[in-house]
Amino acid sequence: MSNNFQTRRNFRIAEVLHVIAGNYELLGNSEKFFFNNIADIETGDADSLVFITAGVDGVLSRLRETKSNIVVVEKTGEDLSEWSEKKILLVTDRPRTNFSKIANYVLNISNNNISQNRIHPTALIDPDAIIGKNVSIGPYSVIGKVIIGDGTQIGPYVHINDETVLGKNVVIQTGCVIGSVAYSEILNEPGSCRVSFPQLGGVVIEDFVSIGPMTCIQRGALKNTLIKQNSSIDTFVQIAHNVEVGQNVTIIGHSHVGGSVKLGDGVYIGQSSTIDNVGSIGSDAFLGIGSVVIRPVERNSKVFGNPATRITSPKITK
C-alpha cells in the first residue's frame, strides 16, 4: 500500500501560495516542477510535495535524502543556494503549518467535484436547510433546518439540529451531535418541581473550525452557543449551552466545558479537563492534562491539577 496521497492532477507551487501563513521565501524556478501527491521525505518520489524540519542534523542533510523536487523547508539560516538550482524550495519558519495548509487545500480540491455537493443518499436533510457549494455529508447523517457554508465536510452518523449555522470549511467528524438540548432543570429555587429552563438558542460555528468524532455541542438557552473561527475541538468533548469559544482555541479529547463559560482566544485545554461554570478562561491560558477548573483563569496563565491551580514550573509549552 502506497503512503503517497494522490492529488488527481498536477499542481504548480504558484497555485497554492495564497494559502501560506506568515513570511516565506521561494527559491528555484517555480515553473520547472509540479507535484501530484503528498508524502514524507522517505517515501516521496520526484513528483511529491514533502516538508523538512531541521532536526538534529539540519536541513541540508535531509535535503540529500529526498527525491522530491518541491520541498517545504524550515528556515534555519543555512545556505540553500546549491539546492535551489536543483529543486523548488519554500523556505518558512512554519514548515508544518504551511505544508498542512497546502496539503489540505489540494486534497480538498481533489476530493470534491468543484461545482457539486457530495451528499450520501442515506443522509436525511430538512428541505429548508441551506447548503453551500462543495459540501460533503456522510452516510446516515441527519441535518435539520440549518445553514451550511461552502466547503464544509460532515462525516457519517452526524446529527445537526435546527437553528445551527456552520461557516465555511468546517469539518465535523463521525458521530457528532450539534445543537442538542442541554440539561437545564432548575434546582436552586423553592418549589421548582424540576422545571426545565427553555433552550431556545442555537449553535453558530464559524469558518475553519474542526470538530473530532463523537463530540457534543449543545444549543444555547436564550442565546447561541458560539465557536469562533480556526478553533479545533477533539474527540469525545462536551460543550455545554451558551459557551463561547474564542478564535484559535484547542480543546483536547474527553474534556468538558460547563454552561456559559467564555474561552478567550488562543486557549489550550489539555485532555480530560473539566471546566465548571466559572465565567471565563482568559486568552492564551493553558490548562494542563486533567485540570479541574472551579474558578476563573487569568489570561496568559498556566493551571494544572484538581482543583486546578496556577503553576510557574515545570515550564509547559503548547
Q: What percent of the chain has pLDDT over 90?
A: 58
Looking at the domain assignment, is residue 152 inside a domain?
A: no
User: Among 89, 111, 133, where does a domain finish?
Assistant: 111
Asked whether residue 145 is domain-assigned, the answer is no
Of the two residues 77 and 215, the one the predictor is more confident about is 215
Per-residue confidence band for 188, with pLDDT thresholds at 50, 70 and 90: low
Whether a cis peptide bond, with omega within 30° of 0, leads into 307 is: yes
Average pLDDT, rounded, for the chain: 87
Tens-place pLDDT, residues 91-131:
999 999 999 989 888 887 666 544 457 899 999 999 999 99
Contact 193, 207 (CB under 8 A): no
Query: What is the mean pLDDT of the segment spanning 279-286?
Result: 94
Residue 31 has pLDDT above 60, yes or no: yes
For residues 105 and 182, state if they share a domain.
no
Flag whether pLDDT at 80 surpasses 50: yes
What is the arithmetic mean of pLDDT over 280-295? 95
Indicate the residue among 58, 78, 111 that finishes a domain: 111
CA neighbor of 204 nearest in space, from 230, 227, 178, 237: 227
Cis upstream peptide for 314 (omega within 30°): yes
Residue 271 lies in a domain: yes
C-alpha cell at 166: 456552520
How many angstroms separate the Cα of 56 from the Cα of each of 40, 50, 52, 69, 131?
18, 18, 12, 23, 48
Provide the CATH number for the domain around residue 259: 2.160.10.10
On the question of pLDDT at 311 being above 80, the answer is yes
Check: pTM over 0.75? Answer yes or no.
no
Q: Using an 8 Å Cβ cutoff, are 278 and 260 in contact?
A: no
Instruction: Kindly name the residue from 120, 159, 241, 256 that is annotated as catalytic.
Output: 241
Whether residue 97 sits in one domain with residue 232: no
User: Are 191 and 105 found together in one domain?
Assistant: no
190 HSE (CA, 13 A, CB side): 0
**Within a 10 A sphere around the Cβ of 234, how many other Cβ atoms?**
19
68 falls in which pLDDT band (50, 70, 90)?
A: very high
In a domain, 154, yes or no: no
Give the residue carrying C-alpha cell 497546502: 102
Provide the domain count of the chain. Answer: 2
Query: How does pLDDT run across 225-266, given as a tens digit for each residue?
Result: 999 999 999 999 999 999 999 999 999 999 999 989 999 999
The predicted pLDDT at position 274 comes to: 96
* The 70-74 sheet, strands edge to edge: 5-11, 35-38, 48-52, 70-74, 88-92, 24-27
Enclosing domain of residue 257: 176-318
241 is catalytic: yes
What is residue 62's predicted lDDT score, i.e. its pLDDT?
A: 84
